[in-house]
Structure 1
């Protein structure tokens, strides 16, 4: 069995660039708003092996991060900047994770309820 090695930043950037081609319209605009320059964050379950996991997007109290052990993107909560709260092992493409997070924000919004234009108070 080959020994696991963490993904390099350049390899990750290549994956992100390819996945961005699958995004368009609102999803691409959303990604442009939440994406960050990838940075390694701590994760206590499995993250110590590779000095953390690459976080690629932040939206409210959620992050999109790359699990290079399982080779997929995940969405997790965080309370402290730099620490991923939950370990997930999805093998999702970035565009799938962006779409899932977009749907969460669209459904729940920042304070609950649907997003959209303001409505008159009755």
Structure 2
């Protein structure tokens, strides 16, 4: 049974990896970062009380998969619940770039309702 990464270790990991990001990627993170929150993703995250979500852009979240030790992105429809399990072992900047490509661009026309 795995144990979730402690919050202080996650914050240290984020700080280390953000320091390695380009200024643009760092700004993207800072503009969308949230205080880390545990979100559910059953059954994978059940033993650890969920996974840490660290940023939200539109209907996508950036989260840390501490089973695989990497950052991932996923959509969500209900706050507090990650929809897809991914086992990427991406560093933060790679996951951020993936997340930014899924989000609407500034000045882009809105999709019809």
Q: TM-score range by the shorter chain?
A: 0.7 to 0.9
Aligned equivalents of 1:30 and 1:10: distance in 2?
22
Contact persistence 2:36–2:54 (CA under 8 A): yes
1:45 Cα shift? 3.0
Alpha-carbon separation, structure 1, partners of 2:18 and 2:47: 28
- For residues 55 and 93 of structure 2, the distance between their equivalents in structure 1, rounded to whole angstroms, comes to 12
Larger RCO of the pair (alpha carbons < 8 Å, separation 6+): 2
61, 64, 72: which one aligns with 1:63: 61
| Residue matched to 1:84 | 82
Match of 2:39 in 1: 41
Number of corresponding residues? 109
> Aligned Cα RMSD in Å?
1.9
Distance 2:70 2:86 in 1: 9
What runs of 5+ residues in structure 1 fail to find an aligned partner? none
Query: Which of these two proteins has the greater Rg computed from alpha carbons?
Result: 1
Q: Calculate the TM-score normalised by the size of structure 1.
A: 0.81
* Structure 1 residue 116 displacement after superposition: 5.1
In structure 2, the residue matched to 1:100 is 98
Kindly indicate whether the alpha-carbon contact (under 8 Å) linking 2:2 and 2:47 is maintained by their aligned counterparts in 1: no
CA distance in 1, matches of 2:20, 2:11: 15
Q: Deviations over 1:57-94 (max 9, x none)?
A: 00110000001111111000000000001111111111
Find the counterpart in structure 2 of residue 22 from structure 1.
20
Structure 2 residue runs without a partner (length 5+): none
Question: TM-score scaled by structure 2?
Answer: 0.87
